[in-house]
Each structure stands twice: as C-alpha cells, then as structure tokens.
Amino acid sequence: SAAREPYYEEVSAGGTGHVESVEVVYDPTKISYEELLNVFWKNVDPVDNRGQFCDKGSQYRSKIFVHNEEQQQLAETSKQQLSQSKFKKTPIVTDIEPAQVFYPAEDYHQDYYLKHPVRYKFYRTACGRDQRLAEVWGQAALH
C-alpha cells in the first residue's frame, strides 16, 4: 500500500523520523534569505541538541532545510559567523539539510497562536521559551 502523510500527533510523539517544522514561503523582493536566517536564529536555541525549550526529542531539534546551493551556502555562512562570534564555547547543533517533502499539519494546528492565544501564551511561558531566548540571545532579541 502507498505511504500516507504522517499525522501531527504521530510526528510530535516521535519515532516517525519526521521533524516538526515550519514552511516559509517568502518574496525575495521584500525580504532577503539572509534576513530570514537572522529571524530564524533568534527564535531557536541553536545549542540544544535534545530539542527546543520544553519539547524534547529528535523531532524538535532545530534544522534549516534548504532548496538550492545558494540557500545552502548562505545558511552555512550564517552558522559559521555565529560559531565564530556568539557561540565560540558552545557548538551550534542546528543541522542544515536539503529540503524534502513538507507535510502541513492538520488545520486545527495551523496558526495555533492566533486561534488559541491564551493557551499559546501559557505554553510559551510555561516552557520557558522567552526566558531561554533571552539567555541565548539577550533581551533585545525578544523585541
């Protein structure tokens, strides 16, 4: 039988080999790939190889998925620059890999922070996300 798309619950439980991720479609006339990389880095903990914040497991590790050689080179360069400046003592564990098939999560999980703002804010606070980002990047990164 043909393989089916994984369900969000299966991916978030781990064991499927998939990674929970966000697909970003952008207009390069409005924002550059380098700017997207800067936003990405400031929203992850690039030195945690166990996952992100309170979500632990290989399905939650930070990764950058690239679509071409230019994106690969720009992502590698930005990672190297951070390794030589901000993260000299702690290695960056964010992997950079070729993009594969992207499976959107079910509708109820799309724009979760908009549909369930109170739950999302509680999760974000209880998980220590903002606190950890401030530790990693400084308070200015949160604004």
CA pair distance 33, 38, nearest whole angstrom? 9
Q: Where are the beta strands (DSSP E) in the chain?
A: 51-52, 55-56, 63-66, 95-98
Q: Which of 79-83, 86-90, 109-113, 118-122 has the lowest mean pLDDT?
A: 109-113
59: left (phi over 0), alpha (psi -120 to 50) or beta: alpha
Per-residue pLDDT tens over the stretch 17-73: 788 899 999 999 999 999 999 999 999 999 999 999 999 988 999 999 999 999 999
| pLDDT value for 140 | 60
